[in-house]
Structure 1
Amino acid sequence: MWFEFKMAWRFLMSGKTQTLLILLGIIVGVTVQVFLGFLIQGLQQDLINQTVGTAPHVFILPEANAPRMLTEEESSYSRTITFSGKQTGLSRWRKLSSDVEEIDDVTAVSPTIVGSGFAFRGQKSLSTVMRGINFEQADNIYNIKENLLNTQTADLGGNNILIGSSLAQELELSPGDSLKLRTADGVTDSFFIAGIFDLGNKELNSSWVLMGLNRAATFLDMPNKISNIELQISDVFKSNQIASQIRRNNPRVKVESWQENNQQLLTALESQSSSSLVIQVFVMIAVTLGISSVLAVSVVQKSRQIGILKAMGTNRRRVGIIFLIQGAILGLTGALIGSMGGIGLSKLFVNVVRDETGSPLFPITINLNFILISIAVATLAGMIAALIPARNSAKLNPVEVIRNG
């Protein structure tokens, strides 16, 4: 094998201009491939983080009071009985919370009581969403503590509440002020602002009012029950799998995943991935054709040398391997340099392209596995491109080549 490698290297060095040109083509192709891959991955990760990064991935809800079909045995007709009235909430939620916490991929569990109502301040009144939470458990999902303004702690004991920054600005509220809340059932009480949060979401900041779970149970008339259980999991794309597992173990509750509720986002992500893959495939096809064409020319140019090698006893297989090694060297070298170029271009993009605040549009993470795959694909493409030239070189008749020069 050392002989074949030595001859492949000598052939490449004897045509330095051709070698440099094809290396440049491979480097540009792999650079584009790596940069585009990192760009799409960064964009997708940013979209996922904005959508479900600090949000529940799975919801456990009370079973809806859906109509039931009852069929009588002695008659051929059926009738629909509709159950009306509001949902009664989850009653055995403590055991259910404990059970789902034992699932391996579940990282956070937050029982929640949710109710709608109004906030009053002077002559102003705004609609709100009142949420009863256990602060530590909810913080594992929403990162509330990190997003508190003007305070580092949050005491939700008694009548203390947390409100969003937009709601506080609209009602001109500060920590320590009082706020009157009224539920949809007409229950009214005064609460004290223990803190103001900014969760980076305008809708949440303008409507959410957070209070202790026990206080919400009394205020929203949900004794010993909750509205839902919110879960986060380690791999967001396993939400359907986790939801199905919970359904199997708890058939009397309703379980929803973020994937079921965000089909348009998933379709967009799949479209981005497909577009990226198509572009990368065509880039590699162009690189492969470039290597193949240059090596085909090399066979013609080196036909005399090949003829001499075969006349000296080098068999067809070894001559073909020489060109396969040339393709591998070109592909591997170009892929290594192109990968570094793709990383550099990604770093340049992050540092140059920024939003109005001077922050990067979205983070780009260097994925080592993607780089290794790109290098392997480019090297394989180089060897595939060398197959036809290698086959042509093996077919050369040494006597005719040497005679015709």
Structure 2
Amino acid sequence: MIQMLRLAWRNMWRNWRRTVIALVAIILGVILLLFFDGLIKGSDQAIFGNAIRIYGGNLQIHAPGFRAKANRLPLLPLDNPDVVVSTVQSRPEVLAVAQRISTAGIISNRGNTLRVGITAIDPRIEAPLSIQAEYMVQGRFLLPEDRDAIVIGQGMAEALQVHVGDTVNLVGRRKNEAMRQHSMQIVGIYDLGMPEIEKASVYIALSDAQTLYNLRDQTTEAVIFLKQAGEEAALMQSLQAALPAYEVDTWQTLRPEITETMQTKLAVTTFFGIVILLIAAIGILNLMLMAAFERTREMGVLAALGMKGHQIMLLFLLEGALIGVVGAVVGCGLGALLVTWVGHVGISFAGVSGMGEVGALMGNTLYPVITLADVLSRAVLVVVITALAALYPAWQAARREPAVALHHV
């Protein structure tokens, strides 16, 4: 076997120009493929990390019926919210659990009007965890004792042409489905660099919302923050069994449009990856076919000297696999270096607009991410594909009759 490998390696470099051309195609394909992988993984991590903090924790618990009407933010109070909180807090993977009130409404100022989601939070619990509190650019975040106070995003402040200290009109749905209008003073403005998301939500104190929306000592949801992302599915199943009278969800199930967009993005990227690999495979196929045609007499000599058909086939397969190994090693090395470098520098999208909610969740800068497992899996895939591309030429070489091959010109 070692002798066959040596012979295959020597044959691979006999026409070095043709081999280099094939290697360049494979290397560029692998680099592009790894870069795509890094972009997708980096964007998914950014979307997931931002969504957890923006949309309310890793998991959310609601009253029955909320899931079917989630896009309307129905005002459905939780029964026995203290029981829900105590059950969740007993789980070791939970960092914090907070009660909220969420409802739909309208905010306006001097003829400028926006439809918004109104989120009432308990600042004592959520202020240390809130991405909005972290990125305050004007004023301050909410305090537990605040009354008639509101925090908005920079995108909304610009749309409404308001500043800290200004008063806006906030209309929200009460428990009895009646609409309640109230004047609120802006105490803080945050800037996430996501204008589309900033224009969609406002934040007020929980105790204030309980009074405004006829929900004395009641809340409509419990949001759960985990110590480590990735444990959502197991905890959701466990909590659903422990709290069968409630609906346990993640932002992914409550916002299926974002999940569908991410799945579409993954499908498109997978398609491009397959195309890249097919291009590389076609290059290898062409290389091996040419090699088989040019070396017909040589194969006749090998067969006449006693080399079996399966040995000739193995020789060609090894040549294809070796080309794949060299291309995979060089391509994966350069691709990993490129993704690592870009991952430190980042790709700025600050000047790009109109990317929608998913684009806003990615933020202004995207940092590609890649793991050793990703690199190794792509390397193995490239070697397998190149070996398969060499299979047909190897079969063609193995089936030639020695006498015919020796007389080939």
TM-score bin, normalised by smaller chain: 0.7 to 0.9
* Superposition pairs of residues 1-400 of structure 1, within 5 angstroms: 1-49=1-49, 51-56=51-56, 57-63=58-64, 89-103=77-91, 106-114=94-102, 131-139=119-127, 142-149=130-137, 155-157=143-145, 159=147, 161=149, 163-165=151-153, 174=164, 195-199=188-192, 200=194, 208-211=202-205, 213-214=206-207, 217=210, 221-232=214-225, 234-235=228-229, 238=232, 243=236, 245-343=238-336, 354-356=349-351, 361-398=365-402, 400=404
Q: What is the SS of the residue equivalent to 1:356?
A: coil
Distance 1:118 1:288, change over 3 A: closer
Which one-letter code corresponds to 1:24 in the other structure?
V
How far apart are residue 376 of structure 1 and its match?
1.0
Report Cα offsets for 1:55-109 as digits up to 9, x if no partner: 22533223359xxxxxxxxxxxxxxxxxxxx967224222312322445665542
Identity %: 19
What TM-score, normalized by structure 1, do the two folds share?
0.73
| Deviation, structure 1 residue 375 | 1.1
The one-letter amino acid paired with 1:355 is: A
Contact 1:4–1:319 (8 Å) recurs in 2 = no
1:143-175 deviation per Cα after TM superposition (whole angstroms, max 9, x unaligned): 233122357886434659552255778696647
Question: What does the per-residue CA deviation read over 1:304-356, in whole Å, with 9 as the maximum and x for residues that have no partner?
Answer: 43344444444433332222221111112112333345456655697676533
Instruction: Output the CA distance in 2 between the equivalents of 1:262 and 1:12.
Output: 54
Q: For residue 21 of structure 1, report the CA deviation from its aligned partner.
A: 1.7
Question: In structure 2, how many angstroms separate the alpha carbons of the residues matched to 1:31 and 1:126?
Answer: 45
Cα distance, 1:210–1:394 mapped onto 2, change above 3 Å? same
**1:198–1:205 Cα contact (<8 Å) kept:** no
Radius of gyration: which is bigger? 1
**Aligned to 1:144, what secondary structure does the other structure show?**
helix
CA contact (8 A) 2:117 2:200 kept: no
Tell me, in whole angstroms, the C-alpha distance in 1 between the residues paired with 2:115 and 2:13: 76
Q: Which range is displaced more, 379-388 or 308-317?
A: 308-317
Instruction: Please list every run of 5 or more consecutive structure 2 residues that lacks an aligned counterpart in the other structure.
Output: 67-73, 353-362
Structure 1 pair 157–180 and aligned structure 2 pair: CA distance change class (3 A): farther
Partners of 1:139 and 1:35 lie apart in 2 by 37
SS at match of 2:55: coil
Whether contact under 8 Å (2:138, 2:188) holds in the other structure is yes
Q: Indicate the RMSD between aligned Cα atoms, in angstroms.
A: 4.5
Per-residue CA distance 1:159-212 (angstroms, 9 max, x = gap) = 59552255778696647x99999986899999987654345456656862432x
Count of residue pairs brought into register by the alignment: 382
Q: Taking structure 1 as reference, are residues 4 and 59 closer, same or farther at Cα in structure 2, changes over 3 Å only? A: same
CA drift of 1:127 comes to: 9.4
Partners of 2:317 and 2:387 within 8 A in 1: yes
- Do the aligned partners of residues 379 and 103 (structure 1) sit closer, same or farther apart at CA in structure 2, a change above 3 Å counting? farther
Q: Decide whether aligned partners of structure 1 residues 375 and 100 sit closer, same or farther in structure 2, where only a CA change above 3 A counts.
A: same
The alpha-carbon distance between structure 1 residues 191 and 285, as it changes in their structure 2 partners (threshold 3 A), is closer
Give unmatched runs, 5+ long, in structure 1.
66-85
